[in-house]
Chain A
Amino acid sequence: MALFAFVVLVPSVRGVYYAFTDWDGLDPSFSFVGLDNFVEMFRDPDAKQAIWHTLLIAVSITVIQNGFGLALALGVNTMIKSRNVLRVFLFAPAVITPIVTAYLWRNLLSTDGAVNSLLGAVGLDSWQQNWLGDPDLALWSIVGVIVWQFGGYSMVIFLAGMQSIPKEIYDAAAIDGTGPVRRFWSVTRPLLAPAFTINLMLSIIGGIKLFDQVYALTGGGPGHATDTLSTLIYKDAFTLGEFGYSIALAVILTVIVAVASTGQYLVLARNERAAS
């Protein structure tokens, strides 16, 4: 605990102090500006847009990635022959560093990249898109890449949950004459509550803090169309030298993560209790 306080808490709290200054990250002389940085945030259209993108990405990833992961888990939890191979393949993207997969996808999604070529080859020319260059599409391309990478991760957690459900319960349910949908809804879903808690928490926190993939895929562009709070914090601090302001943004990011994860945790914990 002392180590934690010394290594993490003290520097973090000391860092927050800079959110109330106009420090440029370099000049040792800076002044205290009170709440100016926070007031500026509500005026700055880039910041408002970035907060919106952050929430949009976090919610989309949480819903889509877990829906996808759950579907995959149900699929490979059956007795099909290739299930072990499939599990490995589906989980594989999650063990690669996000920055590497992001640069890979940046190439695949470029105008002359593999995705468009593939669509052209199978006669779907009209589906070819400017995946990362179209401001209406770029954000969803990023979400797609993340779901591709971490869908398998959610799958593994769901799968572990499913395998801990005693087979006898399913047998009993089958004797009662329930169909597969009813079995999922009344047996699997409630008993998976702990897995849901872990998965939803991880993906909402990951989604809100998202940086690597956005930075590598679009750099926040075109324009500011995909800027998230994290990319904005980085740009303000290191490109524009507005350290004080960017730390103020980081404080807001922290508050959002804390509120979202606590709120979610309380709801999910209640579900867990109700299920058990």
Chain B
Amino acid sequence: MKKAKLAALIAATVSVTLAAACSGGTNAASGDKAQDNTLTLASVDQGSVEEVVKAFEAKNPGVKVNFTTSGADQYQQQIRTQLASGTAPDVMSVWPGNGNPGATYVLAKPGYLLDLSDQAWAAKYPEAVKSVAQYDGKTYNAIFGLNGIGAVYNEDALAKAGLTAPETWTQMIDFCKAAAGKGTPAFALGIQDNWVTQLVLYALVATTVYADDRGFDTKMQAGRATFANSPWTTAMAKYQDMDKAGCFQKNPLGTSYEASQQLAATGKTLGLVQGNWVIALLKKQNPTGKFTIKPLPATDNPASFVMPAAAGAGYGVNAKAKNKELALKFVNFVMSPDGMNLYVKQQGGVPALADTGFDLDPSLTELADYINQNRTVPFMDQLWPNAKVQQTMLSGLQEIFSKQSTPDKVLAAMDTDYKAGG
């Protein structure tokens, strides 16, 4: 009796743990044929895809879009499982470039995405988008919006503190000290969520690395440059200088992304370093507030500033889509001026194609100018060979802030992961 109980117990624990870890197989999609006018769609554009689907259905009477939305982490897990098991939807969110589990290169390489090169919009992409929407010279990703990272200021809080947004690095350090002196620190930093750690660094790296060396990524790919022996070290040092100058509120590691939004929206800090997408979220918390995004000064030469700005997640078509024709129709709608403007308006970004006649939100004028003047670089991770480099950077930055590691160690670890390749 005892023995049987024990055996059952062992079997139960073994199976529970294993079942949690295993999924997979390559079975083909089972069964029922989708009707000709039903499209399946999985999206990460929560809050904006709903409007786009509504407009698409209105334009194509009789068509029904079955869609699901989820957050990025969950989505990446779900889509990979669905693709591997042959149950993926016709159209799905795909990230630009490489470096994350749902990125264009990662999904196009094993042949899961349909070649979209002969669609009319594919030829119209600006260079910065083309490089991350293509794999092996073919276009796989319908990218509709661009996002930038910079200092987002709460204009009312600035006025109340009697300060103006800094234009140079030296001014910014003085600005931080003055703001901290008034009890309203310059920038809210919510790095309890580890993806937030990279934003200040990217904003600094854009200028310290790319202002003088636009070909840095090519050199990295050829093995002729490293993080540890490049101006990435300058950016790391400046990140720490900002911390020492009191640019951030107390305990950034105990502050979440949501908490940082609240600090900036309510004027407890004068702003935060984030992507333009945060502006819509800040306005939700403070509808009468006025927010603007500007480049984060990294040197004393404003003429050399570069902003990180990149293609946001777009849409790819499943190579085994059940309803290919309708899938293409949807993607083409997303890339039409109507669809693109609808998306961008909901998300608070900048359209990926120049000729949509989009009426830009005034908070984004400076970012749009930088994009038009080609003074932007893609988010750094989009051109990295694997997802590990970024994860090492994210946890490494948390370790630097909690004194468990140093910038030199983290950059060296990123180099090791980079060299491990894809």
- Chain A residues with a Cβ under 8 A of chain B: 4, 8-9, 11-12, 14-16, 18, 23, 25-29, 106, 109-112, 130-135, 201, 205, 209, 218-225, 230, 233, 235, 237-241, 243, 246-247, 250-251, 253-254, 257-258, 261-262, 265, 269
* Cβ contacts under 8 Å, B391 to chain A: 235, 239-240
Q: Which of A28, A130, A262, A265 touches B110 (beta carbons < 8 Å)?
A: A28
Decide yes or no: A239 and B387 within 8 Å by CB, A28-B110, A133-B192 being known contacts. Answer: yes
> Nearest Cβ in chain B — how far from A54, in angstroms?
12
- B377-418 vs A: 1/0 string, CB under 8 Å? 000000000111001000110110110110000000000000
Decide yes or no: A219 and B194 within 8 Å by CB, A110-B255, A225-B402, A238-B76 being known contacts. Answer: yes
Question: What are the 9 A-B residue pairs with the smallest beta carbon separation, nearest first?
Answer: A15-B22, A133-B253, A250-B21, A133-B254, A223-B399, A12-B18, A111-B254, A222-B398, A111-B251
Decide yes or no: A112 and B259 within 8 Å by CB, A221-B398, A223-B402 being known contacts. Answer: yes
CB closest chain-A residue, reference B254: A133
Contact A111 B250 (CB under 8 A): yes
> Nearest Cβ in chain A — how far from B79, in angstroms?
9
Contact A257 B13 (CB under 8 A): yes
Contact B26 A265 (CB under 8 A): no
- Chain B residues with a Cβ under 8 A of chain A: 2, 6, 9-11, 13-24, 26, 73, 76-77, 80-81, 83-84, 101, 106-107, 109-110, 112, 192-194, 250-256, 259, 386-388, 391, 395-396, 398-399, 401-402, 404-405
Contact A258 B14 (CB under 8 A): yes
Contact B14 A130 (CB under 8 A): no
CB closest chain-B residue, reference A205: B13
Contact B24 A12 (CB under 8 A): no
* Cβ contacts under 8 Å, A9 to chain B: 11, 15
Decide yes or no: A133 and B77 within 8 Å by CB, A221-B395, A250-B17 being known contacts. Answer: no
Contact B252 A133 (CB under 8 A): yes
Report the Cα distance A112→B344, complex, angstroms: 34
Report the Cα distance A16→B19, complex, angstroms: 10
Decide yes or no: A110 and B256 within 8 Å by CB, A25-B84, A247-B21 being known contacts. Answer: yes
Interface of A: prevailing SS: helix
Report the Cα distance A218→B61, complex, angstroms: 47
* Cβ contacts under 8 Å, B401 to chain A: 222
Report the Cα distance A209→B401, complex, angstroms: 29
Report the Cα distance A269→B101, complex, angstroms: 47
Decide yes or no: A241 and B21 within 8 Å by CB, A132-B192, A225-B404, A262-B6 being known contacts. Answer: no
CB closest chain-A residue, reference B25: A14
Q: List 21 A-B contacts (CB under 8 A).
A: A9-B11, A25-B101, A26-B80, A29-B110, A106-B256, A109-B254, A110-B259, A112-B259, A134-B254, A134-B402, A209-B17, A222-B399, A223-B395, A223-B405, A237-B21, A239-B73, A240-B101, A241-B387, A254-B17, A261-B10, A262-B6
* Cβ contacts under 8 Å, A12 to chain B: 14-15, 18-19, 22
* Cβ contacts under 8 Å, B23 to chain A: 15
Total contacts A-B at CB 8 Å: 165
Report the Cα distance A243→B23, complex, angstroms: 10
Q: Which of B22, B26, B80, B106 touches A18 (beta carbons < 8 Å)?
A: B22
CB closest chain-A residue, reference B10: A258
Report the Cα distance A15→B251, complex, angstroms: 42
* Cβ contacts under 8 Å, B404 to chain A: 135, 222-223, 225
Contact B18 A261 (CB under 8 A): no
> Nearest Cβ in chain A — how far from B273, in angstroms?
18
Report the Cα distance A269→B194, complex, angstroms: 45
Contact A261 B388 (CB under 8 A): no
Given contacts A26-B84, A111-B255, list 7 more A-B pairs with CB under 8 A.
A28-B110, A134-B254, A209-B17, A241-B101, A250-B21, A257-B13, A269-B2
> Nearest Cβ in chain B — how far from A28, in angstroms?
5
* Cβ contacts under 8 Å, B192 to chain A: 110, 132-133, 218, 221-222
CB closest chain-A residue, reference B2: A269
CB closest chain-A residue, reference B401: A222
Decide yes or no: A262 and B10 within 8 Å by CB, A222-B401, A225-B402 being known contacts. Answer: yes
Report the Cα distance A251→B14, complex, angstroms: 9
> Nearest Cβ in chain B — how far from A51, in angstroms?
14
Report the Cα distance A230→B20, complex, angstroms: 10
> Nearest Cβ in chain B — how far from A220, in angstroms?
8
> Nearest Cβ in chain A — how far from B65, in angstroms?
25
> Nearest Cβ in chain A — how far from B22, in angstroms?
3
Residue among B81, B386, B402 with most chain A CB within 10 A? B402
* Cβ contacts under 8 Å, B193 to chain A: 219
Report the Cα distance A239→B251, complex, angstroms: 27
Residue among A8, A23, A26, A238 with most chain B CB within 10 A? A26
* Cβ contacts under 8 Å, B253 to chain A: 130, 132-134, 221-222
Q: Which of B18, B73, B84, B405 touches A250 (beta carbons < 8 Å)?
A: B18
